[in-house]
Structure 1
Amino acid sequence: MSENRPGPMQRVGYLLGRPLPESMRDWVARDVTGPGNLRRYLVRGLIPFVPIAVGLAFIPGPPLIRVLMILLLLIPLVYFQLALSPIYRRHLLRNNGLDPALADKVKIERISATAQDYRARYQLPDTDTDTDTGAEPTDRTPRER
């Protein structure tokens, strides 16, 4: 993997949706799929909320009301950020010329490792997932079947 990292202006463009040059595709893949990707995504989404929270903190009134106003906005923000994380990650990969399936790389590796452990524990033969499952071919229309 190359050690090309985007400069400050390239990083801002990347976060705003601009694709990075091809030489930085490895960095994009590590950024989107590497360790800490969810943490980075959440921080990036919460940064624009900070000025709003500061503004709400200065509204006159009891401190409890100010805190509750901030929480009223913060809780749905974090909820929707977590819910839309896979979509955003796929968008970043596609936008930078990478396969969107890379977003599920960690999940696929974990499932594969679990399947290998299961086969080893119960002495099942090691099979490919691409083998024929006995299903009918799908190249015919439903009427032809």
Structure 2
Amino acid sequence: MARRRPNPIQWLWYAAGGRLPSEFRQWVLHDVSSRWYLWRHAGRSTVLVGPLTVVWLLLPGPLWLRLLLCLMAALVGYFYSFAYADEACEHRVVKHGFPHGTARATRQAARAEAEADVRARYVARYRAGTE
């Protein structure tokens, strides 16, 4: 079954915490378990942090103060977003009908395949005569 991608409006809804229709279940699982899931998480976080920093940039006051306020808000927002990235990904997967732990298990399975390949190349190169 091919993964369907949401359109930009649906993706904005999804990034803001909304639930996508059921035909996007596989795409959601891929979104939170792919190799680049933290970069994708950063994009989703920007949907929430970005408008807030723009509003603070428009407040009255010296420009340097507003820029520092925006920088601090973005740093704190992204810090907490990444501190709970795995939990947020699991919540998205559960919201779309998968059991809790599916995203983490999918990421670990993909990582295990890559690590097994690296280990096999290491053994073939450096431990060929010792094992």
Normalized against structure 2, the TM-score is what?
A: 0.70
Q: Which runs of 5+ in 1 are unaligned?
A: 126-145
Partner of 1:50: 50
| CA positional deviation for 1:111 | 4.2
Q: Percent identity at matched positions?
A: 25
Answer whether contact 2:33 2:103 (CA < 8 A) is retained: yes
Q: 1:93 to 1:51 in 2, by over 3 A?
A: closer
2: distance between equivalents of 1:8 and 1:115? 37
CA separation of 1:19/1:74 partners in 2, compared to 1, >3 Å: closer, same or farther? same
TM-aligned CA deviation for residue 79 of structure 1: 0.5
1:32–1:103 Cα contact (<8 Å) kept: yes
Partner of 2:84: helix, strand, or coil?
helix
Q: Indicate whether 1:110 and 2:114 are aligned.
A: no
Which residue number corresponds to residue 137 of structure 1?
none
Compared with structure 1, are the counterparts of its residues 34 and 109 closer, same or farther at alpha carbon in structure 2 (3 Å cutoff)?
closer
Q: Which segments of structure 1 move beyond 6 Å, counting only runs of 4 or more?
A: none
- What is the Cα deviation at residue 113 of structure 1? 4.2
| Structure 2 alignment gaps of length 5 or more | none
1:36 matches 2:44? no
Distance 1:73 1:34 in 2: 28
- 1:130 is matched with none
Aligned to 1:136: none
Q: 1:10 Cα deviation (Å)?
A: 4.6
Q: Distance between the aligned counterparts of 1:36 and 1:57, measured in 2?
A: 30
Mean CA deviation greater in 71-80 or 29-38 = 29-38
Between the two proteins, the alignment pairs up a number of residues equal to 124
Displacement after TM superposition at 1:77 (Å)? 0.5
Alignment match, 1:27? 27
Q: Which residue pairs with 2:61 in the alignment?
A: 61
Q: Kindly state the Cα deviation for residue 45 of structure 1 after the two structures are TM-superposed.
A: 1.7
Q: Give the deviation of 1:13 after TM superposition.
A: 4.8
* Contact 2:35–2:107 under 8 Å retained in 1: no
Amino acid at match of 2:111: R
Amino acid at match of 2:55: G
Counterpart residue identity of residue 20, structure 1: P
Give the superposition deviation at 1:46.
1.9
CA distance in 1 between partners of 2:82 and 2:40 (Å): 12
Mark the CA change 1:95 to 1:66 in structure 2 (over 3 Å): closer, same or farther: same
Query: Alpha carbons of 1:79 and 1:63: their partners in 2 closer, same or farther (altered >3 Å)?
Result: same
Q: TM-score, normalised by structure 1?
A: 0.64
* Structure 1 or 2: more helix by fraction: 2
